[in-house]
Amino acid sequence: MQGIDERLIKVILENSQEGVLLLDRRGNILKVNQSFSLMSGYRAKEMLGRNIRRFTTAESNAEFIDDAIEGLWQDGFWQGEITQKKKNNESLHVFLRLSAVLPARGSIRFFVVQITEVADQLNEQELAPRDKLTTDPVTGLPTKGLLLDRIQQAISQAERQHHSVGVLYLGLDGARVNMINSSLGRDKGDLFLKEVTVRLKKCLRTSDSVARISATTFGLMLADVSDGVGAVRNAGVVARKIYESLSEPIMLGEREIDVTAHMGMTLYPQDGAHADELIKNAETALAFARKKGLNNYQFFSTEMTETARKRFELEGNLRLAIDRKELCLYYQPQVCLETGKVIGAEGLIRWIHPELGMISPGEFIPIAEETGLIVPIGSWVLKTACYQLAEWQKKGLPPIRMGVNISAMQFKRNDLAKQVKELLDETGIDPSMLDLEITESAIISDVQKTVETLNQISDLGVKLSIDDFGTGYSSLSQLRQFPFKTLKIDRSFIRDITSNSNAAAIVSAIIAMAHSLNQTVIVEGLETEDQLTIMRELHANEIQGFLFSAAVPADQLTKMLQDNKKL
């Protein structure tokens, strides 16, 4: 290898999209790059040191070899098309360029062989006049021109309705698609793209669009993604959904192919006023995401990137939090105003992150709700709370009620009542000591379904509470149709109660109405003695707040119960 800079060769080989072979004067293979390995199916190890003739198919290429050798000796150069066999015996139709490397004086030292797959070239040619097509023949998707129109239409509508439009560019790993085309055949390559299309479509709503922009790039338009920070969050949720849908490998015959993709996102109006600008910036963001590594998504605007990145990271970690046992349940005592005794506790989730420390549910429960992670997390909470209650009962401590927060999504699934029933059977706890807390907004989204589920749970003997009352839009009369035993007044009313006479009047009215419906009233967020005095005057039944205790780990609550701590 004297006379040739080794490093230079390495750089050329590694960066070449073409297959490259370096041969000595007798045709023995000295170097081979990855592109050629992918194309031919032979690993570098199988080729190094072997003669090139072993990898040429003699019958069809006898002529080529003679022709090439002659050309090389005469001109130092030869090029032409040949058909070879891949390792798996499939045909590989390639365009070859052979160059002889000569030292300043003397005879040939090396040959450089550059190989381009002809099928790939055809592919590009087919794609070349795409701008004139409105539909991509492989996936049936619209092409870029149509997507531009649709983005422009969505922008006009967004302008009127004051919401955002998202443009998302998704780039598949080109080398992988090429590898599929060359090693499994074009049919399989097309199948791969079709499957990606199906999965992308599933992540979108009917008002959204997806188009095939180039061989391996797809463009998606999200017609309505609310506005401002909400838009960043919503676009992030869609990106996450897409990753999830692509994270399952695609089956091509017997082969399982992992999908790797990057995404770049832009939002109207902040990242561009017109469709072209949004697309251009989405391309930039995509390029940036590629640079950052596999499976990455990137917002165009840098200040938003930080927020999106944090959220994305939190979300990724949250997925693992259950398995890593980073979640735990704290318990905040609820005290009876008449006796001063602890008569209940609300289970409140905490995430103890190994690096970030304790993360409050206010920060991660909304993410869990948007991503659906709340379902497994909620099940974990319910189970943990029931087992803890069973433990307290076994210890012979004064019986207390256990409050568990339930999110809307847990209701929408059909199995909540079944899950509760199973846990009651498993743990043997008294059903009337379990108290599920539901917020107003969770009920209102699907009244009929919720009434059904709530009645099933109530029939098991389990108590139901309405949480954060006063923050939603429901009225007590509306809530009458639900089997609630307890009403928890939101702490925002209590905060203002000593300074704002309206707040006191509202709380007074809520308590009176709840009592007329035979409901117990728990006041949340009680922090001061003054607030306590007012709550006694207004005849609230129970209080929960920092005045008595914040939420504490199970063993600390055990101690409170053992010591018979009182208000």
Closer residue to Mg ion in complex, CB, 271/437: 437
- State how far the Cα of 499 lies from the Cα of 145, in Å rounded to an integer: 61
Q: Give the DSSP H or E segment for 63.
A: helix 58-75
Instruction: Please pick, from the candidates 195, 437, 440, 542, the single residue that binds Mg ion as defined by CB under 5 A.
Output: 437
Q: Smallest gap, in angstroms, from Cβ of residue 525 to ligand C2E?
A: 4
Pairing of β 165-172 and β 217-222 = antiparallel
DSSP assignment string, 103-147 = -SSSS--EEEEEEEEHHHHHHHHHHGGGGG-SB-TTT--B-HHHH
Count, residues near Mg ion per rule CB under 5 A: 5
Q: Smallest gap, in angstroms, from Cβ of residue 89 to ligand C2E?
A: 58
Closer residue to ligand C2E in complex, CB, 42/387: 387
Tokens found for residue 312 = 């994305």
Helices (H), 271-373: 275-292, 302-321, 361-371
Radius of gyration of the chain (CA): 34
Half-sphere exposure of 372 (CA within 13 A, CB side): 7
3 state DSSP class of 514: helix
Closer residue to ligand C2E in complex, CB, 111/548: 548
Query: What does 311 interact with, of ligand C2E, Mg ion, none (CB < 5 to 8 A by kind)?
Result: none
Query: What does 154 interact with, of Mg ion, ligand C2E, none (CB < 5 to 8 A by kind)?
Result: none
Q: Bridge-partner residues for 328, per DSSP?
A: 350
Q: Smallest gap, in angstroms, from Cβ of residue 337 to ligand C2E?
A: 15
Closer residue to ligand C2E in complex, CB, 163/491: 491
Q: Note whether 494 and 528 are within 8 A (CB).
A: no
Query: What does 277 interact with, of Mg ion, ligand C2E, none (CB < 5 to 8 A by kind)?
Result: none
Closer residue to ligand C2E in complex, CB, 266/405: 405
Q: Smallest gap, in angstroms, from Cβ of residue 168 to ligand C2E?
A: 30
Query: What does 407 interact with, of ligand C2E, Mg ion, none (CB < 5 to 8 A by kind)?
Result: ligand C2E
Does the footprint of Mg ion cover residue 440 (CB under 5 A)? no
Angle at 123 between CA 118 and CA 127, to 5 degrees: 145
Q: Note whether 313 and 321 are within 8 A (CB).
A: no
Closer residue to ligand C2E in complex, CB, 47/522: 522
Instruction: Please pick, from the candidates 37, 40, 164, 405, the single residue that binds Mg ion as defined by CB under 5 A.
Output: 405
DSSP state of 474: -
Q: Smallest gap, in angstroms, from Cβ of residue 363 to Mg ion?
A: 16
Q: Give the DSSP H or E segment for 23.
A: strand 19-24
Query: What does 148 interact with, of ligand C2E, Mg ion, none (CB < 5 to 8 A by kind)?
Result: none
Q: Note whether 59 and 42 are within 8 A (CB).
A: no
Closer residue to Mg ion in complex, CB, 271/468: 468
Binding mask 468-507 for Mg ion (x = CB under 5 A): x---------------------------------------
Torsion, Cα 264 270 271 273, to 10 degrees, reads 130
Q: Smallest gap, in angstroms, from Cβ of residue 154 to Mg ion?
A: 39
Closer residue to ligand C2E in complex, CB, 210/442: 442
Query: Percent helix, strand and coil across the chain, each rounded to 5?
Result: 50, 25, 25
Q: Which amino acid, 548?
A: F
| Residues between 517 and 556 with contacts to Mg ion, criterion CB under 5 A | 524
Closer residue to Mg ion in complex, CB, 259/402: 402
Query: What does 378 interact with, of Mg ion, ligand C2E, none (CB < 5 to 8 A by kind)?
Result: ligand C2E
Q: Smallest gap, in angstroms, from Cβ of residue 459 to ligand C2E?
A: 23
Tokens found for residue 7 = 């490093």
Tokens found for residue 44 = 């570098």
Instruction: Please pick, from the candidates 22, 467, 489, 525, the single residue that binds Mg ion as defined by CB under 5 A.
Output: 467
Q: Smallest gap, in angstroms, from Cβ of residue 127 to Mg ion?
A: 56
Interface positions with ligand C2E (CB under 6 A): 332, 348-349, 360-362, 365, 378, 381, 405, 407, 437, 467-468, 491, 524-527, 544-546, 551
- Name which of 136, 128, 165 is nearest 150 in CA terms: 165
Residues that bind Mg ion (CB under 5 A): 405, 437, 467-468, 524
